[in-house]
Structure 1
């Protein structure tokens, strides 16, 4: 079951995120202070996947199987963090949370969603590509202390402005077609 941050007790959310961060990200785990700051920051949207079977209405940190969140700046949404407990991976939890995030970003009017992902995190890269994210850049030595690079990926939620196209559209054209499209677009923009 998915619940938003607003539906969850703040202390439960902090404890759950911290436990999953440590389990999943080890030396890259956010500190408790960083988690509190992130969850309290303006323009944040977080979703939590919790177990459906509870004897009472109280949600405990151990009930949280995964979390994901983004920051929205008025144009772009940027995914800040996604984590699913190891025992619950490969069950569609990350995909359901990504769908929730994308739907909320669309409702808020985001034009695209950005994220960074480790170049060695093949499962996460595959998930993001399934949703239509494309590589748009590389951040060298982004993850420290190991110095692992990060892909910068984007998902366009709105069509591009005239004269621009997504990376996927560019790959489908030849250089001659691209030159013709660019020349045609440049000509129309000068009218």
Structure 2
């Protein structure tokens, strides 16, 4: 679900709630748990990666006080089916 980074921050990069359990506040509880854990561990910040079209997740993070940032990460992909 997350990991510590070198700059005294933690990264949430794989947080999800099963389809039948969504819209019940479980995602909010998980995010709040991670926030509490990070604070108790003395971390200075949390970062989140989510898909741009995951509007429910974005709303959850915004409601928890996260601010959208741009340009912090570069994503690369190499297609392998064409042989090179």
State the match for 2:82 in structure 1.
Answer: none
Equivalent position of 1:88 in the other structure? 21
Measure the CA separation in 1 of the matches of 2:76 and 2:12.
Answer: 16
Q: Aligned partners of 1:143 and 1:99: how far apart in 2?
A: 30
**In 2: Cα distance, 1:131 partner to 1:104 partner:** 14
Largest Rg, 1 or 2: 1
Work out which structure has the larger RCO, using CA pairs closer than 8 Å and 6 or more positions apart in sequence. 2
Q: 1:105 aligns with which of 23, 38, 44?
A: 38
Partner of 1:71: 3
Contact 1:118 1:143 in 2 (8 A): no
| Aligned pairs, number | 76
**CA offset at residue 135 of structure 1?**
1.2
**Contact 2:9–2:46 (CA<8 Å) still a contact in 1?**
yes
Unaligned runs of 5+ in 2: 79-84
Question: Unaligned regions of 5+ residues in structure 1, if any?
Answer: 1-68, 146-191
User: Which residue of 1 is the match for residue 81 of structure 2?
Assistant: none
Structure 1 residue 114: deviation in Å?
0.5
Which residue of structure 1 lines up, in the alignment, with residue 60 of structure 2? 127
State the secondary structure of the residue aligned to 1:81.
Answer: coil
Per-residue deviation, residues 150-175 of structure 1 (Å, max 9, x unmatched): xxxxxxxxxxxxxxxxxxxxxxxxxx
Q: Which has the higher strand share?
A: 1
Q: TM-score normalized by structure 1?
A: 0.36
